Amino acid sequence: MDYFSQQLINGIVLGSIYGLIAIGYTMVYGIVGMINFAHGDIFMIGGFTALIAFLILVSFGLTVIPLILLVVLLVAMALTALYGWTVERIAYRPLRHSFRLAPMLSAIGMSFVLTNFSQVAQGARVKPVPPIITGGYTLYEADGFVVRLSNVQILVVLTTVVLLALFTWLVARTRLGRDMRACSQDQTMASLLGVDVDRTISMTFVIGAALAAVAGMMYLLYYGQVDFFMGFVAGIKAFTAAVLGGIGSLPGAMLGGLLIGLIETMWSAYFSVEYKDVAAFSILIVVLIFMPTGLLGRPEVEKV
């Protein structure tokens, strides 16, 4: 039970990171109807941007950790959002009215561009960083096994909860959110009613990229390293989470992320760690057999 409790904490933290990335997938699909396969690499860019910003601030002698984290978070979100905007302008907007496979292939190409750009610019080696947030709490100890909750784990979960609540409010209560929902239902009708469709789609990519930047920074703080290939692996897991929860559903994306994180950690704890990815995708297949729209997804109504 002690080991289970520790793995439960680890799974929730990992799932929170997956959930933040998955929200970007489900946002873009909900409005454009396409999967942004470059989104995982946007997450990777966010992690590298956070690392570079952190090193620059430390080199200038700034030592106040809360201030450093706030500045790094804002810088990473701003610069990564710019990457998201660029992906939309280059890979999606020119091909929006083309056949459906064209934007997907373009996004895959953009994914390779971002991956190789990071490899050339930062090198292929893993970039470690010393622990930035240390300390934690011992929940209980039994038979020599200590169940701990670290401060960085608390930060990851709290950040995820706050951002999910903020973004849910944004979609439900603001003009931008109303425009997003209108474009999700019918872009042509939304345009006739005065919605700037191009601006709304661009802002969707920008917000999704900013959330991916937060996930990249949380990944850096939690694991203490980044590399140019981490976006591919995390992107596939987050896409799986979005499909599992119900593509197009924000709560479903977060629920799917938590489930994927828990499946990975529990499988790694009690079975072979080499097959944790197989377990996650097997659960996805089983769920989609009985619930084709995912756990919280809604059947798509075909417009005639």
Residue 267 is assigned to a structural domain of this protein: no
Q: What is the pLDDT of residue 138?
A: 86
Q: Which of 200, 297, 279 is nearest to 242 (CA)?
A: 297
Residue 55 is assigned to a structural domain of this protein: yes
**Residue range of the domain that includes 170:** 2-229
Tokens of 275: 């097959």
Q: What is the pLDDT of residue 299?
A: 66
Q: What is the pLDDT of residue 154?
A: 94
148-179 per-position pLDDT tens digit: 899 999 999 999 999 888 988 888 889 998 99
> What does residue 140 show for φ and ψ, rounded to 5 degrees?
-165, 165
Residue 270 is assigned to a structural domain of this protein: no
C-alpha span between 59 and 101 (Å, rounded) = 46
Rg of the chain, C-alpha, whole Å: 20
Q: What is the pLDDT of residue 79?
A: 95
Residue 215 is assigned to a structural domain of this protein: yes
Residue 111 is assigned to a structural domain of this protein: yes
C-alpha span between 16 and 178 (Å, rounded) = 26
Tokens of 298: 């809604």
Buried b (16+ CB within 10 A) or exposed e, 41-53: bbbbbbbbbbbbb
Residue 79 is assigned to a structural domain of this protein: yes
Residue 194 is assigned to a structural domain of this protein: yes
Q: What is the pLDDT of residue 144?
A: 74
Tokens of 16: 């929170």
Q: Which residues of the chain have pLDDT under 50?
A: 304
| pTM exceeds cut of 0.85 | yes
188-218 per-position pLDDT tens digit: 899 998 999 999 999 999 999 999 999 999 9
Q: How many domains does the chain have?
A: 1
C-alpha span between 123 and 38 (Å, rounded) = 20
Buried b (16+ CB within 10 A) or exposed e, 134-158: eeeeeeeeeeeeebebbebbebbbe
Q: What is the pLDDT of residue 247?
A: 82
Sign (positive/negative) of CA torsion 16, 132, 65, 227?
negative
Alpha helices (H) along 60-194: 65-87, 101-122, 151-173, 175-185, 187-192
Q: What is the pLDDT of residue 303?
A: 52
Q: Please enumerate in sequence order all residues whose Cβ is within 8 A of that of 159, keeping only pairs 6 or more positions apart, or say none.
A: 16, 214, 218
Q: What is the pLDDT of residue 301?
A: 57
Residue 284 is assigned to a structural domain of this protein: no
